[in-house]
Amino acid sequence: MSESTTMTPDPQAAGDQTRGDFRPIAEYGLLADCNSAALVDRSGSVDWLCLPRYDSDAIFSRILDPSAGHWSIRPVGSFSSERRYLPGTLVIETTFSTDSGTVRLVDAMSFAPGQRGHDLGFDAPHELLRRVEGVSGEVALELELAPRPEYGLVKPLIRLENGGARTFGAGRLGVSSSVPLGADEEAVLRASFSVSAGDRVGFALRWAAAEQKEPPAPCPADRVFDRIEDTAEGWRSWESEHDIYDAPNKDLVRLSSRVLKGLTYRPTGAIVAAPTTSLPETVGGERNWDYRFSWIRDSSLTIEALYIGACSDEAEEFVSFMTSSAGGRAGEGSLQIMYGIGGEHDLSERELPHLRGWRDSAPARVGNGAWDQVQLDVYGELLNSLWLYQEQLGDLHPEIQQFVADLADTAARRWRETDSGMWEMRGEPRHHLSSKVLCWVALDRAVKLADQLGAYAKTEEWESARDEIRDAVIERGWSEEKQAFAQSFDADELDAAQLLMPMLGFLPATDARMKSTIDAIADELTEGGLVLRYKNEDGLNADGLSGEEGTFTICSFWLVACLAQAGEIDRAERLFDQLTGYANDLGLLAEEIDTANNEQLGNFPQAFSHIGLIKAAYEIDKAREDVRSPAGYDRPDADRHDQNAGLEARGGDQSE
């Protein structure tokens, strides 16, 4: 997958506050080392980089403000570019073509030397590698490196050294270079050089902690080529060990699985929702959030998607991370909806007023104020993952047994409460239907895991609470006006979260009420055929925020999955093709899609969106009978007959 783009040189100097243009979000590609991530655009500019972790202060933040730091390597004058991921990797190769010749730029965030397979991400060197090689003719290039630690607040002291440079103060960096560097009084490193066919030029940037005695020692420029090849081989080794999906949509599933792997923080097993902060859901709006944390919901769905696309070994580390982060307890407020990737609890939100925000969408934020919200769906999401991976996890440690039982007990005790819902609404709490359904999931999966819980199992209590929740959802969640399951109890507003009901095994997609819900969402909760989470109006909304948002990518993929499960395969495939058509030239998807401008919006790339792609592809391929399910994955579907029989016994059967 590649795309040619014509570029002209940017006349603005580094740090010029008058620069008014921001690259479209889809212009960027993801580099990752399973510790942190960088975003590089089609013209060779790294405009986002946090080191040493995803949630560390950014060194390059130009994606949020033109003066907030970047590292560009690009031809002088006009050029066209096309790019791709090297097969099986998150290493980006960009080819620049000019009137005088062609060069390739290859970018990677490095793994530890020789690292392979499941070990990827341990002992990361926190290093960005870049190489330029001449393909034909001769091309003049320019390098501009403007480090701006603390999200652009700091212009560091730079010292030129033999073979590179280093910075002092916050965010110590070491730079190696095959070509001579110069530094100006604005703390910008620059170089001009030419590359002919067969020439090779290497660069590296490495971070070091202030506590480290020795200065950062980047990879020597003449070894950059070998280190990039070693990193690429590391990615390929992981994919070869986890390549289990064999169906028509294999390539899309493979790529999305790699993206999800790239969003995993290997030292702890945490999974970030996205590697960025404050890319807006609406241009010029206030819906700008920091997604560089580990949500139970997003992480659990990531683990489930990797089960389909890669049968990943990451589940054990994630379960351990969540159990230890919660202190082994789910009740008494111990289980948060999200944690820092090191297990941190306090994720207090603050604004960065010195940043303009992408396309002047302010404020830019770090931290996330939703960390202390009540969201009752988390118990079901976590227990569903534990149940799915029960064979891989083996015999459960007594601490895990107790944690599972505590999750189920807490769901049984709290399901009648109001909460903020899975969309983290900042308005008044409600009886969100999706939260009730996922409390049902928590108890349903706990019952199925009971044989592995020893003395902690409370099967009869959990079965009774599970059935009580089901009755309440059927009776109070249905809107006669909409002929659909609604957003909350005794309400009529629609919510795309109800598309999860068949995927979680609550009701089959062929059930009459479920089919009616699917159609109502498709008819009334879409723009340009793509699905909104819920309807917003002018002024202050029920979610406590003003303004609107784009269509939510994962919700549209959920609709694809539901249509496929309901037997409407052609309709599902058309929507799937429409959605994947919005991916950028590297196959990456943001959180939302603005159908009016055919533009991706929100944090990027978004784990949720790639999770949705994997699930939707699987449901289509399964409906076409072109894919063999991973062992055990269809267990929710297998249980539906018994669940529907239970509904019939209580007079609530709506199946056809």
What is residue 307's DSSP assignment?
H
pLDDT(648) > 80: no
Residue 394 CB partners (closer than 8 Å, separation 6+): none
pLDDT(631) > 80: no
Does residue 232 lie in a domain region? Answer: yes
Q: Where are the alpha helices (DSSP H) in 504-606?
A: 512-524, 553-565, 569-580
| Helix axis angle, 378-388 to 296-309, nearest 10° | 30
Does residue 181 lie in a domain region? Answer: yes
Task: Identify the domain boundary among 238, 268, 286.
Answer: 238
Domain count for the chain:
2
Q: Kindly report the CATH number assigned to the domain that includes residue 158.
A: 2.70.98
Residues 247, 206 share a domain: no
What is the per-residue pLDDT for 391?
74
Q: Which residue has the tokens 């082994």?
A: 328
Residues 253, 126 share a domain: no
What is the per-residue pLDDT for 335?
82
Residues 180, 286 share a domain: no
Residues 360, 320 share a domain: yes
SS3 of residue 144 by DSSP = strand
| pLDDT level of residue 312 (50, 70, 90 thresholds) | low
Task: Confirm if 140 and 124 have CB atoms less than 8 A apart.
Answer: no
Residue 413 corresponds to which tokens in the numbers above?
Answer: 């005790």
What is the per-residue pLDDT for 367?
97
The single-letter code of the amino acid at 202 is G
Task: Select the more confidently predicted residue: 650 or 187.
Answer: 187
Residue 450 corresponds to which tokens in the numbers above?
Answer: 């009971």
The single-letter code of the amino acid at 397 is H
Looking at residues 553-566, what average pLDDT do you find? 97
What is the per-residue pLDDT for 303?
84
Query: Of 380, 589, 595, 618, nearest to 500 (Cα)?
Result: 380
Residue 103 CB partners (closer than 8 Å, separation 6+): 75, 95, 96, 132, 133, 134, 135, 139, 141, 195
pLDDT(614) > 90: yes
pLDDT(611) > 60: yes
Q: How far is CA 655 from CA 162, 619, 647, in A?
A: 74, 20, 10
- C-alpha to C-alpha distance for 66 and 12, rounded to whole angstroms: 10
What is the per-residue pLDDT for 545?
56
Does residue 201 lie in a domain region? Answer: yes
- C-alpha to C-alpha distance for 254 and 613, rounded to whole angstroms: 11
Highest-scoring range by mean pLDDT, 6-15, 238-247, 460-469: 460-469
Looking at residues 501-518, what average pLDDT do you find? 97
Residues 482, 597 share a domain: yes
- C-alpha to C-alpha distance for 380 and 378, rounded to whole angstroms: 5
Residues 271, 205 share a domain: no
Q: Which residue has the tokens 């005794």?
A: 490
Looking at residues 441-469, what average pLDDT do you find? 97
Residue 47 CB partners (closer than 8 Å, separation 6+): 23, 28, 39, 40, 41, 60, 61, 62, 63, 70
Task: Select the more confidently predicted residue: 329 or 411.
Answer: 411
| pLDDT level of residue 548 (50, 70, 90 thresholds) | low
pLDDT(446) > 70: yes
Residues 611, 523 share a domain: yes
Does residue 655 lie in a domain region? Answer: no
What is the per-residue pLDDT for 16?
36
pLDDT(640) > 50: no
Beta bridge partners of 165: 160, 175
Residue pLDDT, tens place only, 364-402? 999 999 888 888 999 999 899 889 888 777 788 898 899
Residues 214, 111 share a domain: yes
Residue pLDDT, tens place only, 5-45? 555 444 333 333 333 579 999 999 999 999 999 999 999 99
Beta bridge partners of 205: 128, 175
Residues 476, 450 share a domain: yes
pLDDT(567) > 70: yes
Q: How far is CA 30 from CA 33, 261, 394, 402, 529, in A?
A: 10, 12, 34, 39, 28
- The 3-class secondary structure across 59-108, one letter per residue, is EECCCCCCCCCEEEEEECCCEEEEEEECCCCCCEEEEEECCCEEEEEEEE
What is the per-residue pLDDT for 538?
53
Does residue 506 lie in a domain region? Answer: yes
Q: How far is CA 288 from CA 43, 366, 486, 542, in A?
A: 26, 10, 27, 17
Task: Confirm if 517 and 573 have CB atoms less than 8 A apart.
Answer: no
Task: Identify the domain boundary among 203, 238, 273.
Answer: 238
Residue pLDDT, tens place only, 401-437? 998 999 999 999 999 999 999 888 878 899 999 999 9
What is the per-residue pLDDT for 649?
30
What is the per-residue pLDDT for 546?
52
Residues 253, 393 share a domain: yes
Looking at residues 577-581, what average pLDDT do you find? 97
What is the per-residue pLDDT for 653?
34
Identify the domain containing residue 128 by its residue range: 5-238
Q: Kindly report the CATH number assigned to the domain that includes residue 281.
A: 1.50.10.10
Tell me the percentage of the chain whose pLDDT exceeds 90.
Answer: 74
Task: Select the more confidently predicted residue: 626 or 469.
Answer: 469
Residue pLDDT, tens place only, 88-117? 999 999 999 999 999 999 999 999 999 999
Tell me the percentage of the chain whose pLDDT exceeds 70.
Answer: 89
Q: Which residue has the tokens 């629609």?
A: 494
Does residue 315 lie in a domain region? Answer: yes
What is the per-residue pLDDT for 319?
77
pLDDT(331) > 70: no
- C-alpha to C-alpha distance for 288 and 294, rounded to whole angstroms: 17
Q: How far is CA 402 from CA 132, 199, 413, 453, in A?
A: 54, 61, 16, 8
Q: How far is CA 512 from CA 503, 508, 509, 515, 655, in A?
A: 16, 9, 8, 5, 5
Does residue 64 lie in a domain region? Answer: yes
Of the listed ranges 139-148, 261-270, 331-340, the one predicted with least confidence: 331-340
- C-alpha to C-alpha distance for 411 and 473, rounded to whole angstroms: 15
Does residue 654 lie in a domain region? Answer: no
What is the per-residue pLDDT for 18?
31
Q: Pseudo-torsion of CA 618, 622, 627, 630, nearest 10°?
A: 70
Query: Of 381, 387, 385, nearest to 448 (Cα)?
Result: 387
| pLDDT level of residue 47 (50, 70, 90 thresholds) | very high
Residues 231, 247 share a domain: no
Q: For the chain, count helices (H), then strands (E).
A: 17, 29
Task: Identify the domain boundary among 238, 254, 276.
Answer: 238
Residues 284, 234 share a domain: no
Mean pLDDT over each residue of the chain, to the nearest integer: 89
593 membership: H or E segment, kind and range: strand 592-594
pLDDT(323) > 50: yes
Residue pLDDT, tens place only, 111-170? 999 999 999 999 999 999 999 999 999 999 999 999 999 999 999 999 999 999 999 987
